[in-house]
């Protein structure tokens, strides 16, 4: 069977047995035909007889041509499935992709606000919450937004954890409170004095509404039947940022969570402590912040090492 016929048979299987969409099938065909053309040009044989060395050479050529690791990984995935099909159908006695490691995808660094930018946000939120000319509804929203912002930056909560906090959190006069995160795992989250004051101001206005008596959420939705939607807070946060000169693309609740972690590390916190505060099950997840540690170590050596001062 020729390579073209093998590719056709593979795509028929993907369509019939796995329900692959037309766009997916078209992508597989392009990827396999491109690999086949490379094999023919490089060694005179097509994809059918490709060895592990041939496939490695193909991936290296992609890397040399500037293809991203994600594109290389997608091509390798198509080749893996293709050769597994050939092996299962007894069209090949081996799978040459079995010994090839997937290209490592570079993890993008999180967007982070500077401490000055966060200070601007907090100051503007406080100003709007204290505006005596605001209508009662606008005032209540501003007070709520300030409480959300202060609490988020103080604790590094996920936005879903933040908006779904129980009202009992506001009743505690302690520097930490318990939050239930992913996998129903509990962890301690810090509460600064400023955040506690902002939450108390919000609670005082929240409790004026009779519907709040039967509401379990610290930040209820408009109807008081559920908690505030994360999208609502994200929208309010972007609008606040715009009023501070921070573009919307640079600001989200998740960006503030990153700022919480990065600013802790910049000011001397241990990576393991930050892992616990963020609720990361694995330290590898927290290691996206190692660039912050590297900058801190470089500054430490530059400023403190006796030879650096010579």
* Residues tagged active-site: 158, 182, 254, 257, 280, 289
Exposed/middle/buried for 133, CB within 10 Å: 0-12, 13-18, 19+? exposed
Q: How many CB atoms lie within 10 A of CB 181?
A: 17
- Give the max Cα distance, the chain: 81
Name beta bridge partners: 177.
189
Q: Which two tokens stand for residue 49?
A: 């007889």
Instruction: Round to whole Å and give the CA distance between 144 and 125.
Output: 10
Exposed/middle/buried for 301, CB within 10 Å: 0-12, 13-18, 19+? exposed
3-state secondary structure of 176: strand
Name beta bridge partners: 202.
none
What are the contacts of 59-64 at 24+ separation with CB within 8 A?
Answer: 59/100, 59/103, 63/103
Residue that the structure tokens 């795992």 belong to? 185
Residues 6+ apart with CB under 8 A from 56: 100
Nearest CA-CA partner of 206 in 190, 227, 232, 180 = 227
Question: Which pairing describes strands 176-180 and 186-190: parallel, antiparallel, or unpaired?
Answer: antiparallel
3-state secondary structure of 244: coil
Nearest CA-CA partner of 292 in 154, 118, 105, 110 = 110
Whole-number CA gyration radius for the chain: 27
- Cα–Cα distances in angstroms (integers) from residue 53 to residues 37, 95, 269, in the given order: 16, 12, 46
């Amino acid at each position: 069977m020729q390579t073209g016929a093998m590719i056709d048979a593979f795509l028929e299987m993907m369509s019939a047995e796995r329900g692959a969409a037309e766009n997916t099938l078209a992508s597989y065909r392009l990827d396999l035909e491109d690999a086949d053309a490379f094999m023919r040009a490089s060694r005179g044989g097509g994809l059918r007889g490709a060895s592990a060395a041939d496939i490695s050479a193909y991936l290296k050529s992609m890397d040399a041509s500037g293809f991203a690791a994600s594109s290389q990984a997608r091509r390798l995935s198509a080749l893996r499935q293709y050769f597994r099909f050939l092996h299962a159908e007894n069209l090949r006695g081996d799978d040459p992709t079995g010994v090839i490691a997937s290209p490592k995808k570079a993890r993008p660094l999180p967007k982070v606000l500077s401490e000055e930018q966060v200070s601007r946000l907090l100051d503007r939120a406080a100003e709007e919450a204290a505006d005596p000319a605001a209508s009662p509804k606008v005032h209540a929203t501003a007070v709520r937004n300030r409480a959300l912002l202060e609490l988020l930056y103080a604790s590094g909560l996920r936005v879903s954890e933040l908006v779904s906090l129980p009202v009992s959190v506001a009743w505690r006069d302690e520097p930490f409170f318990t939050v239930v995160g992913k996998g129903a795992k509990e962890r301690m989250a810090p509460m600064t004095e400023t955040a506690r004051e902002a939450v108390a101001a919000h609670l005082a206005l929240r409790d004026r509404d009779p519907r709040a008596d039967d509401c379990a959420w610290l930040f209820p939705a408009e109807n008081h039947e559920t908690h505030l939607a994360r999208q609502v807070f994200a929208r309010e946060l972007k609008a606040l940022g715009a009023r501070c000169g921070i573009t919307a693309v640079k600001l989200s609740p998740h960006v503030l969570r990153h700022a919480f972690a990065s600013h802790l590390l910049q000011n001397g916190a241990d990576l393991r402590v930050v892992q616990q505060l963020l609720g990361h099950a694995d330290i590898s997840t927290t290691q996206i912040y190692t660039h912050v540690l590297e900058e801190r170590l470089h500054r430490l050596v530059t400023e403190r090492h006796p030879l650096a001062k010579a």
